[in-house]
Amino acid sequence: MYFNLWSRDFLKKSYINDINKELILFYKTIQNNKALSLLITELEILEDKFNKSKKRDVLFLAWREQFNQLLKKNNSRSITKKEKIEISALLISLNKTCFNGVYRKNKSGEFNVPFSKKFKEEVSFFDLENIKNINKSFENTVIENLSFEKVIDFRKIKKNHLVFFDPPYLPVSRTSDFSSYYDDGFTEIEHQKLSELLIKINDIGAYFILTNSDSQKTKEVYLSDNKFFNINVNVRRSINQKGLSNKPDATQELIITNFKSFNT
């Protein structure tokens, strides 16, 4: 959403936030020109190593282990600048070579997605043009690493501003739980709090868009007072596969807004 709006010149000033430390570290690395050039060099080294390796699965596990050690260090705040670049480079490398590009951590906060066995040929870890565009898009953007309730600042949100939310997904059924890829827990209580924030945003005269699973619970939490609108969409989840969202494995999601149509 952010990159799409930026590429169409709709954003004057933006704020991005996520509670995931390594994701935000990665964004901040891209935002900083010096850190970005170090990241690109590191990525070229890792990409070359992977493509030349005869034991890609072993290399993947070694990277995963190294990444998890660095995450622990990042939590203890004793991390160096060089190690921060290493976290960002490994984050991309693991994302490009793990099963379906999924990001999931266990209860101890370790990334635990297995290697994707399908890689037999050359793998491209990044697109230089794209990463430079991302850097450009962050020029006038504040990037934060807080829980949503701390980051939403009603002194800053004004009439006609847009706030986009993509929170962890409410489970579609009792057995499914898509939200298990984040470590800090986002329960129904957080969804309730978020729905209260939406009402406040609406009252200010600002716009919001929220995406979530197409579940009964989502409708109960966010649409119970018939104030807001919802649109059903088909999406495809595996991010390192090329494909269209109308394929049979697409899932239904909801877009909830306080405005009726997207006339862009």
Ligand X SMILES: C[S@@+](CC[C@H](N)C(=O)[O-])C[C@H]1O[C@@H](n2cnc3c(N)ncnc32)[C@H](O)[C@@H]1O
Tell me which residues touch ligand X (CB under 6 A).
18-20, 147-148, 166-169, 182, 184, 186, 190
Query: Cβ 219 to ligand X, closest distance in Å?
Result: 18
Looking at beta carbons only, is 67 or 169 nearer to ligand X?
169
Looking at beta carbons only, is 126 or 182 nearer to ligand X?
182
**What does each C-alpha distance from 160 to 3, 42, 206 come to in angstroms?**
19, 41, 4
Contact residues for 213 (Cβ-Cβ < 8 A; gap 6+): 169, 170, 171, 172, 178, 251, 253, 254
Q: Could you count the other beta carbons within 10 Å of the beta carbon of residue 211?
A: 19
Query: Cβ 225 to ligand X, closest distance in Å?
Result: 23
Query: Cβ 52 to ligand X, closest distance in Å?
Result: 30
Looking at beta carbons only, is 45 or 142 nearer to ligand X?
142
Query: Cβ 182 to ligand X, closest distance in Å?
Result: 4
Looking at beta carbons only, is 38 or 94 nearer to ligand X?
94
- Taking Cα atoms as reference points, which of 257, 209, 250 lies closest to residue 233? 250
**Beta pairing partners, 255:** 211, 231
Looking at beta carbons only, is 18 or 42 nearer to ligand X?
18
Contact residues for 254 (Cβ-Cβ < 8 A; gap 6+): 211, 212, 213, 214, 218, 219, 230, 231, 232, 233
Burial zone of 237 (CB within 10 Å; 0-12 exposed, 13-18 middle, 19+ buried) = middle
Query: Cβ 45 to ligand X, closest distance in Å?
Result: 25
Looking at beta carbons only, is 51 or 255 nearer to ligand X?
255
Query: Cβ 3 to ligand X, closest distance in Å?
Result: 10
Contact residues for 178 (Cβ-Cβ < 8 A; gap 6+): 168, 169, 171, 172, 213
What does DSSP assign to residue 180? Answer: G
